[in-house]
Amino acid sequence: MPKALAGIRVVDLTQYEAGPSCTQMLAWLGAEVIKVEPPGGEAGRTALSDKRGEDAWFFLLLNSNKKGVTLNLKAPRGRAMFKALLETADVLVENMGPGAMERLGLGTEVLRQLNPRLVTASVKGFGGGGPYAEYKSFEWIAQAMAGAMSMTGAPDGPPTKAIGGLADTGAGLHAAIGILAALVQRQTTGVGQQIEVAQQDAVVNLLRIHLRDTYANGRPVPRQGNRSVNAAPSNIYRCRPFGPNDYVFVHCATVEMWKTLTAIVGRPELGDDPGYADRRDRVKFIDEIDDMIEAWTEKRTKHEVLEILASAGVPCGAVLDSAEVLSDPHLTSRGMIVELKHPTRGTYPMPANPVRLSDSPTEVVRAPLLGEHNAEIYGTLGYDVAQLDTLRREGVI
Amino acid sequence: MTDRALSGMRILDLTQFEAGTTCTQFLGWLGADVLKIEPPGGEQSRRNRPEVPGLDAMFFLVFNANKRSVMLDLKHPEGRALFLRMVEHADVVVENFAPGLMEKLGLDYERLRAVNPRIIMARIKGFGLSGPYHEYKSFDMIAQATGGVMSVTGFADREPVRCGAAIGDTGTGVHAAAAIMAAYIQRQRTGEGQLVEVAMQEVVANFLRGRFVDHYRDGAASVRRGNEITGGVPGDAYPCAPGGLNDYAYIYVQTMNADMWRDFVTAIGREDLLADPRCTDARTRWQHRDALNDIISAWTRTRTKHQVMAELGKAGVPCGAVLDTAEILDDPHLNARGQIHTIEHATRGRLRLPGSPVRLSASPAPTTPPPLAGEHTAEVLAEVLGLSTDEIAELRARGVVAP
């Protein structure tokens, strides 16, 4: 099978989510990703596991299609092997704490001397320079510091974190973009470069649309729950059998959508009323409209509502929970959810690659076991079985 | 001479609103020549709730920097012919029209490929090009609902709530940008373009990936948990002075990190907690979370969120002030790093826009003003197709291009 990034070797020093999401995307696109872990395993593999000795689900979700090797970068011999590996690589990705690469003697200058063609990418919480450069970050810290938390939640409730890796997976994808662009540029210049993505910047990018109201009135964007100040209907509506996620989201952008909706819910006269034609004007009647729609939705399940409204051209989404996402007929029929088999965890459904290239199909391969590819990768660097045994005994791999 | 990563890449940008425009803006920052093809009167989002009547809306301005604008009527047969001639001279076409529209215009991938086998066509859709929902329309919040994010965001005793950030729209544009560059790299080996497809529902599910963990562990759907982090104390948004709507700081001490707990209690002047039996380890702290969170809130309430962040940040404890959108534009860190760019717009005057969120050491990414509708029509037709002033004037007279 052809692959977009065939022939690109990525050395992956990442951990948890912000880095692994980047290298997983590159692997899906066909790069050879070699995940280098300390001999005990990356923290995301071990510390986050629900069962001692088993690879964490978190790790399995973020490290498919990679090869796994172990290496002790704190040992001089481990660092020498790492440098030998980097000489064969096109890309290095890391998301360690501020200054960690320099402490390992792997600062930007050292890497450039070692392999001038190497593209190096760093995913950081706040990025170098600026007053917060030394501060630690996590997903929720970056969501707070980028405005996402301030605009999520009910108007009468506190700022609320959004569950979804906006800062982690978001920053990882932004880094993947930087890496791909640098690989394109290298084809002309012949040299690599340094890429930096800060989580705070990535989340600001994801919500740039909401800055517009601040431009207009200088005030912060308020929390609006699920409603919109710019459109009605645009809200969630309860459905049978009234479980915690038995809701649909309905949004009418155009007058045609509004006419279709009012006809379906049995109020066609409102569809023809010029006072209700514009989605912004309808905000004046938001309570009446929301009651009208919910009176109709609460007689049906969310899947019934989805089928009736969406197939009639009214934008509608059932609020799917994680179980329903993993078994959604649309996602499974498109191959977005695939079943993987793991030697110790058994089979599990795995969300696949959300980008599809017609000439670079993604076949999802389970995450590697700890050090699974030591012999293969170090073999290409010239180490034989006996040497690898010695290195293992000495705690280098 | 290549001075930017994507110098030499020419993009015909048919996108509108957000999911597509954010993709091409990104490629523009990286150096691609983005030609925004707009219908007569301009792309719809220019008129999406304009703050100043008659001028381009901020909605448009935040997504269309670093592009040139060509007004070309694709509903006019000559407009389509002109577009296909431009495809011959382009590397990438990006579109996010409603399902079926490109087919209706006779501009599907097969048609474009027949004109230029090297063309990469990126199609951004709500539910993709196949599967039972593929004809359904979508918006950011529809994708958030059907991608699972809404079901886990919010508080356990309340309804699902959408994520404020536009992961369905801009998130999808970011994924599409990655895919386009991968296809471009592949083309350098194969000489052939390809079709790239990204669906918003799938992008949201990808953002949620790390949160399927509960599901696998418990064998049941993940639940809403508000702001807390299960097992983490502190691990919540704590109220700060003076008690406004966004006066909170998010604080998280890693459960497995005993040093970080010590640093935290030292920073808040409560070393006594180190010997407190409630604080033996993360497990006991979680058992006594209500009492301990009260102690932590008592400390945060006496300080502003910025003071809390400065004190804890310097102590090595992860903490983020909950910034609102006005504070983002003024944030000293973002400004010190040059992340907020100031541009001079022809009609809107001076504007501050967030710049490229990715920094490449050898490919600077200044932000240029979003174009006026059709600002570059004549320039681009002359440059790309070699049309003369008279030919352009004739096309204009027949209503094919504007102005």
Residues of B within 8 A of A319 (CB-CB) are 145-146, 150-151, 160
Q: Does B343 touch chain A (CB under 8 A)?
A: no
Q: How many domains does chain A have?
A: 2
Give the pair of three-digit tokens for residue A57: 């689900």
Packed helices B200-208 and B170-190: angle between N→C axes, nearest 10 degrees: 100
Q: Is the pLDDT assigned to residue A45 strictly greater than 90?
A: yes
CB proximity under 8 Å: A 81-140 to B: 126-127, 129-138, 140
CATH number, span B10-207+335-402: 3.40.50.10540
Q: Select from B135, B182, B237 the Cβ nearest to the Cβ of A180.
A: B182
pLDDT category at B1 given cuts 50, 70, 90 is very low
pLDDT value at residue A48: 83
Contact A168, A206 (CB under 8 A): no
Question: Degrees (nearest 5) of the Cα angle B77, B80, B85?
Answer: 130
Out of A6-10, A251-255, B266-270, least confident range: A251-255
Residue B100 C-alpha from the chain's centroid: 25
Q: Select from B59, B166, B252 the Cβ nearest to the Cβ of A206.
A: B166
Out of B27-31, B34-38, B51-55, B189-193, least confident range: B51-55
Q: What is the ipTM of this complex?
A: 0.94
Q: Does A167 touch chain B (CB under 8 A)?
A: no
Judge if A123 and A84 occupy the same domain: yes
pLDDT category at A50 given cuts 50, 70, 90 is confident
- The residues with which A348 forms a beta bridge, in sequence order, are A340
- Looking at A282, A298, A326, the residue that finishes a domain is A326
pLDDT value at residue B215: 84
Task: Report yes or no on A222 lying in a domain.
Answer: no
A302: CB partners within 8 A, 6+ apart:
A239, A245, A246, A247, A248, A318, A319
- Looking at A271, A300, A326, the residue that finishes a domain is A326
Contact A26, A175 (CB under 8 A): no
| C-beta atoms of B167 and A206 within 8 A | yes
CB proximity under 8 Å: B 296-335 to A: 309, 313-314, 316-329, 331-334
Task: Report yes or no on A3 lying in a domain.
Answer: no
pLDDT value at residue B68: 98
Give the pair of three-digit tokens for residue A241: 């059998």
Counting residues of chain B whose pLDDT is more than 90, the rounded percentage is 92
Judge if A85 and A29 occupy the same domain: yes
Instruction: Write out the residue limits of the CATH 3.30.1540.10 domain(s) in chain B.
Output: 235-329
Task: Report yes or no on A124 lying in a domain.
Answer: yes
CATH classification (class only), B235-329: alpha beta
Task: Report yes or no on A218 lying in a domain.
Answer: no
Task: Report yes or no on A212 lying in a domain.
Answer: no
| C-beta atoms of B186 and A220 within 8 A | no
pLDDT value at residue B218: 86
Judge if A136 and A256 occupy the same domain: no
Per-residue pLDDT, averaged over A170-185, amounts to 97
> By CB neighbour count within 10 A (0-12 exposed, 13-18 middle, 19+ buried), where does A76 fall?
exposed
- Looking at A326, A350, A378, the residue that finishes a domain is A326
Active site residue B73: no
pLDDT averaged over every residue in chain A = 95
B229, closest residue in chain A (CA to CA): A140
Q: Does B350 touch chain A (CB under 8 A)?
A: no
Judge if A317 and A354 occupy the same domain: no
Per-residue pLDDT, averaged over A138-161, amounts to 95
Instruction: Write out the residue limits of the CATH 3.40.50.10540 domain(s) in chain B.
Output: 10-207+335-402
Out of A26-30, A210-214, B175-179, B283-287, least confident range: A210-214
| C-beta atoms of A184 and B184 within 8 A | yes
Residues of B within 8 A of A25 (CB-CB) are 178
Q: Is the pLDDT assigned to residue A236 strictly greater than 60?
A: yes
* pTM summary value: 0.95
Give the pair of three-digit tokens for residue A53: 């000795």
Judge if A133 and A279 occupy the same domain: no
Q: What is the CATH number of the domain that holds A288?
A: 3.30.1540.10
Q: What is the CATH number of the domain that holds A124?
A: 3.40.50.10540
Task: Report yes or no on A221 lying in a domain.
Answer: no
Which helix (H) or strand (E) is B154 found in, with range? Answer: none
Per-residue pLDDT, averaged over A217-244, amounts to 93
Per-residue pLDDT, averaged over B246-255, amounts to 94
Number of Cβ within 10 Å of residue A77's Cβ equals: 14
Tell me the one-letter amino acid at A266. G
CA A363/CA A349 separation, integer angstroms: 14
Judge if A20 and A150 occupy the same domain: yes
pLDDT category at A70 given cuts 50, 70, 90 is very high
Judge if A150 and A268 occupy the same domain: no
Judge if A200 and A308 occupy the same domain: no
Q: Does A158 touch chain B (CB under 8 A)?
A: yes
Judge if A164 and A239 occupy the same domain: no
Give residue-wise pLDDT tens across range B148-197.
999 999 999 999 999 999 999 999 999 999 999 999 999 999 999 999 99
Task: Report yes or no on A316 lying in a domain.
Answer: yes
Q: Which of B91, B169, B236, B247 is catalytic?
A: B169
| C-beta atoms of A201 and B167 within 8 A | no
B224, closest residue in chain A (CA to CA): A163
CA A13/CA B159 separation, integer angstroms: 40
A378: CB partners within 8 A, 6+ apart:
A69, A81, A388, A391, A397
CA B292/CA B271 separation, integer angstroms: 13
Q: Is A69 helix (H, G, I), strand (E, B) or coil?
A: strand
pLDDT value at residue B220: 87
Domain that holds residue A381: 9-206+335-393
Distances B217 to A51, A58, A164, B361 between C-alpha atoms, Å? 9, 10, 18, 42
Residues of B within 8 A of A232 (CB-CB) are none
pLDDT value at residue B2: 53
Task: Report yes or no on A228 lying in a domain.
Answer: no
| C-beta atoms of B166 and A141 within 8 A | no
Counting residues of chain A whose pLDDT is more than 90, the rounded percentage is 91
Packed helices B377-385 and B77-88: angle between N→C axes, nearest 10 degrees: 50
Contact A45, A370 (CB under 8 A): yes
Q: Does A326 touch chain B (CB under 8 A)?
A: yes
Dihedral, B253, A64, A18, A350 alpha carbons, nearest 10: -70
A181, closest residue in chain B (CA to CA): B5
CA A152/CA A168 separation, integer angstroms: 18
Phi, psi of B319 (to 5 degrees): -155, 135
Judge if A64 and A105 occupy the same domain: yes
Judge if A71 and A158 occupy the same domain: yes
Q: Which of A12, A168, A201, A246 is catalytic?
A: A168
Judge if A306 and A342 occupy the same domain: no
CB proximity under 8 Å: B 246-305 to A: 246, 248-250, 252, 256
- The residues with which B345 forms a beta bridge, in sequence order, are B349
